Amino acid sequence: MYPKQISIYEVGPRDGLQNEAQLGLEAKVQLINGLSACGLKRIEAGSFVSPKWVPQMADSTAVLQQIERQQNVTYSALTPNLSGFEQAIAAHVNEVAVFTAASESFCQRNINCSIAESLRRFDTIFVAAKAANIKVRAYVSCVLGCPYEGAINIEQVAAVSQALIDMGAYQVSLGDTIGVGTPQNARQMLDAVSQRIAPQQLALHFHDTYGQALANILACLDSGISTIDSAVAGLGGCPYARGASGNLATEDLLYMLHGLGIETGVDLQQLANVGHKICQQLGKRSSSKVSQALMN
Amino acid sequence: MYPKQISIYEVGPRDGLQNEAQLGLEAKVQLINGLSACGLKRIEAGSFVSPKWVPQMADSTAVLQQIERQQNVTYSALTPNLSGFEQAIAAHVNEVAVFTAASESFCQRNINCSIAESLRRFDTIFVAAKAANIKVRAYVSCVLGCPYEGAINIEQVAAVSQALIDMGAYQVSLGDTIGVGTPQNARQMLDAVSQRIAPQQLALHFHDTYGQALANILACLDSGISTIDSAVAGLGGCPYARGASGNLATEDLLYMLHGLGIETGVDLQQLANVGHKICQQLGKRSSSKVSQALMN
């Protein structure tokens, strides 16, 4: 049985744009306003990491100040540490997100510490977030494979996810960061994590690098999962394979879900227009096949 | 339960190249030789339609004469009428294919006659093929939607398919010609056709115009189906939406099937190399996401 509804977690303005050419403040603000106008209710709007590492996100405070807030929309930001969390709160985010990995090697290379140390660093964020009554979302990357280690033990994915839930995360987003999963191992991974965590507290964040994201999602759709991450126009590319795809395009996801009779509350044609515009501004071709088809 | 094996019907040299820029004879011959070297056992090598309509296929006789035939490989060609069939036989094809639609409007616009008339025209081909001991495959297009009519009644798909089997086709390839299907309606269509025809006599030919092909195939994989059509590098594009995708890339299909533990007998890395080469010759980017990822 497919679910009646799926909540889309739109990551284009953060996970997407952080891997694109630098975009101006106004274009970012317009993008986020365009996304909320399409009916998206959860939008990752920015990131408070060091601008040395991610210059594309250096203006996240200004972005969050200038967007037209919609009352029923959750605007979130990535916060790697307490300093980032405080900036995010000052910018009036509705929730924050922390980021670790199921792969030790990836964690080391990406955030320069062990998985255990990454969790310890989040402690102060969880404490401060609880005091501020701010929800914390957690990303676990490399759940279906790692660019450095290859296959990842699904028990490791489950253990890291559970640690984050135990610390206070309201949802863990399971990231197939390099898009190497296929339907059966995606489902096996989800089932292993669901042994410990209710599926309503999990999200799928499957990249489309090998074109498998929709099939992998389909294989997981009757598991009780209720949130899926995607990026308008498939923004972001894949930092581990230049020219390859990264984030699943929200348009392509919506097309499948709506075809299955699943409600998302998002207007696909309007979203395709938003994706078309941002791709024009970036001077790139949309990674969304639905967009390419609809724009003809 | 997934099947243990799937037979890939490689349509790149015909359904793919007929929608690409004209390619030289030698490049076509090398492509087909490259495909058989990868382990593909069924290759659609050309088409005997009027060169006025499909100039890209005008040299199909020369292609079939010059390829290095592998003993256990079936080389086929599209034959719209008895004249085409006779040319195909003279060029020593191993089997032929006929082509009609589940949509009256598409049939009219594409082959300039009604569906019933298209079937009557095939009569002489089936008679001649039986006499020559040549197998006939049949394509039914627009099984999940038509660019002119929109939705297509699945009973119409089943009826046309059955007529072709009754006339002597050994397999009917169900074409989502414009790639509009989603997993549930793809499966419903297949189930309707399977009421009349054993799934072993059916093939899935799903285009990836809206990025749904793999998910649609996944939804059909436990139906008893044993043949799937695809094109190396996703050759072909979509003639109904310029710039959009057409054929599903064989590389992306193999990646999913192999990930599910399904044998195809095809070497994915070698095939990606063949796809890379033909795209270089055509001066285009591969439509295969797997190829884009592997080539980095």
* Interface TM-score (ipTM) > 0.85: yes
Give the E-state strand segments of chain B in sequence order: 7-10, 42-47, 74-78, 95-101, 135-141, 171-176, 202-206, 227-230
pLDDT band for position A245 (cuts 50, 70, 90): confident
The CA-to-CA distance between both ends of chain A, in Å, stands at 34
Distance from CA of A294 to the nearest CA of B (A): 8
Which A-chain residues 66-125 have CB contacts (< 8 A) with chain B? Answer: none
Q: How far is it, in rounded angstroms, from Cα B233 to Cα B271? A: 9
Q: How far is it, in rounded angstroms, from Cα B217 to Cα B221? A: 6
Tell whether the model's pLDDT for residue B12 goes beyond 90: yes
Please judge whether A296 and B243 are an interchain contact, meaning their C-beta atoms are less than 8 angstroms apart. Answer: yes
SS3 letters across A270-290: HHHHHHHHHHHHHCCCCCCHH
CB distance A248 to A206 below 8 Å:
yes
Q: How far is it, in rounded angstroms, from Cα B118 to Cα B247? A: 24
Shortest CA distance to A214 belongs to which of B289, B272, B237? B289
For residue B292, the cross-strand partners are none
Chain mean pLDDT for chain B: 96
Q: Kindly list the residues from chain B whose CB atom is less than 8 angstroms away from the CB atom of residue A208.
A: 289
What DSSP assignment string belongs to chain A? ---SB-EEEE-IIIIIGGGSS---HHHHHHHHHHHHHTT--EEEEEE-S-TTT-GGGTTHHHHHHHS---TT-EEEEE-SSHHHHHHHHHTT-SEEEEEEES-HHHHHHHHSS-HHHHHHHHHHHHHHHHHHT-EEEEEEE-TT-BTTTBS--HHHHHHHHHHHHHHT-SEEEEEETT----HHHHHHHHHHHHTTS-GGGEEEEEB-TTS-HHHHHHHHGGGT--EEEEBGGGTT--TTSTTS--BPBHHHHHHHHHHTT-B----HHHHHHHHHHHHHHHT---S-HHHHHHT-
Distance from CA of B187 to the nearest CA of A (A): 11
Tell whether the model's pLDDT for residue A67 goes beyond 80: yes
Shortest CA distance to B32 belongs to which of B66, B4, B2? B66
pLDDT band for position B110 (cuts 50, 70, 90): confident
pLDDT tens digits, residue range A182-230? 999 999 999 999 999 999 999 999 999 999 999 999 999 999 999 999 9
B25, amino acid identity: L
Does B4 contact A at CB distance below 8 Å?
no
pLDDT tens digits, residue range B86-95? 999 999 999 9
Three-class SS state of B36: helix
Question: What pLDDT does residue A241 have?
Answer: 72
DSSP element (H, E) containing B252: helix B250-259
CB distance B214 to B248 below 8 Å:
yes
Q: Cβ–Cβ contacts within 10 Å for residue A35, how many?
A: 29
DSSP state of B200: G
Question: What pLDDT does residue A211 have?
Answer: 97
User: Residue A245's closest chain B neighbor by CA?
Assistant: B289
Does B296 contact A at CB distance below 8 Å?
yes
Tokens describing residue B217 = 């195939």
- Catalytic residue selected from B38, B107, B238, B279: B238
Three-class SS state of B272: helix
A193, amino acid identity: V
Does B21 contact A at CB distance below 8 Å?
no
Does A219 contact B at CB distance below 8 Å?
yes
- Nearest by CB to B210, from A2, A242, A293: name it: A293
CB distance B274 to B12 below 8 Å:
no
Q: Please say if A146 is a catalytic residue.
A: no
Q: Which residue has the tokens 């990357």?
A: A141
User: Residue B289's closest chain A neighbor by CA?
Assistant: A210
Please judge whether B252 and A212 are an interchain contact, meaning their C-beta atoms are less than 8 angstroms apart. Answer: yes
| Span A238-249, average pLDDT | 82
Does B262 contact A at CB distance below 8 Å?
no
Residues 6+ apart with CB under 8 A from A85: A48, A79, A96, A124, A125, A128, A129
CB distance B96 to B136 below 8 Å:
yes
B71, amino acid identity: Q
Question: At the top level of CATH, which class does the domain B7-295 belong to?
Answer: alpha beta
Question: What pLDDT does residue B53 have?
Answer: 86
φ/ψ region of A256 (left if φ > 0, alpha if ψ in -120 to 50, else beta) reads alpha
Question: What pLDDT does residue B58 have?
Answer: 92
Shortest CA distance to A56 belongs to which of A237, A213, A275, A241? A237
Q: Kindly list the residues from chain A whose CB atom is less than 8 angstroms away from the CB atom of residue B293.
A: 179, 209-210, 238, 241, 244-245
- Nearest by CB to B290, from A210, A214, A258: name it: A210
For residue B10, the cross-strand partners are B43, B230
User: Residue B219's closest chain A neighbor by CA?
Assistant: A218
Q: Which residue has the tokens 């037209």?
A: A68
Q: Among A207, A210, A248, A291, which would you mutate to test the B interface (most chain B Cβ atoms within 10 Å of its Cβ)?
A: A210
Q: Kindly list the residues from chain B whose CB atom is less than 8 angstroms away from the CB atom of residue A243.
A: 292, 295-296
Please judge whether B184 and A260 are an interchain contact, meaning their C-beta atoms are less than 8 angstroms apart. Answer: yes
What DSSP assignment string belongs to B44-77? EEEE-S-TTT-GGGTTHHHHHHHS---TT-EEEE
pLDDT band for position B111 (cuts 50, 70, 90): confident
Q: Cβ–Cβ contacts within 10 Å for residue A261, how many?
A: 11
Of residues A109 and A244, more confidently modeled? A109
Please judge whether A288 and B211 are an interchain contact, meaning their C-beta atoms are less than 8 angstroms apart. Answer: yes
Please judge whether A292 and B184 are an interchain contact, meaning their C-beta atoms are less than 8 angstroms apart. Answer: no
User: Residue A291's closest chain B neighbor by CA?
Assistant: B210
pLDDT tens digits, residue range B152-187? 999 999 999 999 999 999 999 999 999 999 999 999
Tell whether the model's pLDDT for residue A244 goes beyond 80: no
CB distance B247 to B221 below 8 Å:
no
- Nearest by CB to A182, from B242, B260, B295: name it: B260
Question: What pLDDT does residue B70 have?
Answer: 97
Does A296 contact B at CB distance below 8 Å?
yes
Residues 6+ apart with CB under 8 A from B184: A2, A259, A260, A261, B219
Q: How far is it, in rounded angstroms, from Cα B152 to Cα B143? A: 7
Q: How far is it, in rounded angstroms, from Cα A193 to Cα A218? A: 17
- Catalytic residue selected from A107, A220, A238, A279: A238
Q: How far is it, in rounded angstroms, from Cα A193 to Cα A188? A: 9
Tell whether the model's pLDDT for residue B245 goes beyond 90: no
Chain mean pLDDT for chain A: 96
